Structure 1
Amino acid sequence: MSIQDIIEGKKQWRAHLARVKALPPDYQIVYKEMQKYLFKVGPVSLLDESLLPGIVDFFEEGVAEGKGVLELVGSDVAAFCDDLIKDSPTYADAYQESMGGGSGTTRK
């Protein structure tokens, strides 16, 4: 990764955060909780793909339609996040595999 890539990544992240700050306060709170949860669970593709920007797109559409944030995600935000990443490998999965999950050996 070059210096230019890092600078471009920072610009994109700052633009993303500006979009989050433009959301209504209740949307911002739910977004931050989702972000915290997703960073904790650790889907491998979190930063490589458009998961977080996609959530902001989804929220912006909800705001435009005049919907409340809980109308969009439901009352269980963690379950909503789990549904978003259900087919994505997590760092915990990768760790389990590295600890011998894929080798076919049994430990005693």
Structure 2
Amino acid sequence: MTPEPGEPKSRYLHYLEILTGSLEEKKRWRQYKARVKRLPDDYRIAVEALERYLMHFGPADGPGAMTMYEDVADLFERSAADGTPIRGIFGDDPVEFVEAFMANYPLGQYRARERARFTSAVARAAGDATPSRDRTQT
């Protein structure tokens, strides 16, 4: 029922995707979840915790978020195959790890820019000296 790449979608599929979202993204999500399910228990538990965090604080768009989740699966599959301990992946501060991880994705970069913009605006409001380039960003 799904068209081949480059083939136009039927009117039915077009309307269905308007109502339910991209069918391709749903397929990618199911594939990602199957990959996570096959991980050893400790890695799976860690990925599910990371996933929960990303659901709340990570990118919310379909394709960007799916790329990030697929990269999470890649990382944990390789780590499990190499025998890398969970702390070897996350380090001592899991939040620092996930924030640095998210910064590698377009919406994660947006969050970093907005944090810098926010910090700069507060510094200006408080009368702190800030670099001139920050003043032009607001």
TM-score, length of structure 2 as denominator length = 0.57
The alignment status of 1:70 with 2:87, answered yes or no, reads yes
1:66–1:42 distance in 2 versus 1, CA, 3 Å: closer
| Aligned residue number for residue 89 of structure 1 | 110
Deviation at 1:84, TM superposition (A): 1.1
Deviations along 1:46-96, one digit per CA (max 9) or x if unpaired, are x32311110110111111111222211223222111011235224xx5xxx
8 Å Cα contact 2:91/2:97 also seen in 1: yes
Deviations along 1:2-58, one digit per CA (max 9) or x if unpaired, are 33672222111111100000011111111111111111113355x323111101101
1:34 to 34, 50, 57: 50
Work out which of the two has the higher radius of gyration on C-alpha atoms and give 1 or 2: 2
1:51–1:20 distance in 2 versus 1, CA, 3 Å: same
1:43 to 46, 54, 59: 59
Consecutive unaligned residues in structure 2, runs of 5 or more: 1-12, 119-137
Question: SS of the residue aligned with 1:89?
Answer: helix
8 Å Cα contact 1:44/1:89 also seen in 2: no
**d(CA) in 1 for partners of 2:22, 2:63:** 13
**d(CA) in 2 for partners of 1:89, 1:48:** 16
The alignment status of 1:54 with 2:80, answered yes or no, reads no
Question: SS of the residue aligned with 1:43?
Answer: coil
Superposed CA RMSD in Å reads 2.9
**d(CA) in 2 for partners of 1:14, 1:44:** 17
Task: Count residues in correspondence.
Answer: 95
| Aligned residue number for residue 8 of structure 2 | none
Letter in 2 for 1:66: G
